[in-house]
Amino acid sequence: MNATTVSEHGRPDITIDLARLKKNCNGNTAIVKELIAHLREKSGPKWIAALERAIAAGDAEDLQEICHGMKGASATVFAWRISNLALEFEYLARDGEVALLSSRMNELLDMFEELTLWIRDYPELC
């Protein structure tokens, strides 16, 4: 998909807007690589574990806070699909829909798998 495709929330519906990320990093590929690796290897697993704990506890308020942070942090690196899903999860948590959010956790796992596959298309990021 290209940057003109948008989600239902009016946000880009792409894995990562690499051009914008590179621009924000002044073209420094090492920084881009570090940011994406951090998202995939550190932030993602941390968010998933935190979400699983909050779901197990039935803590909608904690879920909303985690999703809000995930939404913002992933948007900062222009990882729009993850950010868009986090926005949906934030709304679910706000509305107390813990069971529905829980049933959609595989979508988040799929987003991180999609990110891994996306990275393979950019050897300079591996």
Structure letter (DSSP) for residue 3:
T
The answer for residues whose C-beta is within 8 angstroms of residue 12's C-beta and 6 or more apart is 3, 5, 6, 78, 80
CA pair distance 68, 87, nearest whole angstrom? 7
In 9-79, alpha helices (H): 18-24, 29-38, 44-57, 60-76
How many structural domains are present in the chain? 1
Give residue 3's pLDDT: 47
List phi, psi (to 5°) of 6: -125, 155
Q: Is residue 55 situated within a structural domain?
A: yes
Q: 47: how many CB neighbours lie within 10 A of its CB?
A: 22
pLDDT in tens, 34-69: 999 999 999 999 999 999 999 999 999 999 999 999
Q: Is residue 3 situated within a structural domain?
A: no
pLDDT in tens, 9-36: 678 999 999 999 999 999 999 999 999 9
Q: Is residue 4 situated within a structural domain?
A: no
Quote the percentage of the chain above a pLDDT of 70.
94
Q: Is residue 74 situated within a structural domain?
A: yes
Grade residue 1 by pLDDT with cuts at 50, 70 and 90. very low
Q: Is residue 7 situated within a structural domain?
A: no
Burial class (CB in 10 A: 0-12, 13-18, 19+), 117: exposed
Q: Is residue 2 situated within a structural domain?
A: no
Looking up residue 61, the CATH number of its domain turns out to be: 1.20.120.160
Q: Write out the residue range of the structural domain in which residue 73 sits.
A: 18-125
Q: Is residue 62 situated within a structural domain?
A: yes
Q: Is residue 11 situated within a structural domain?
A: no
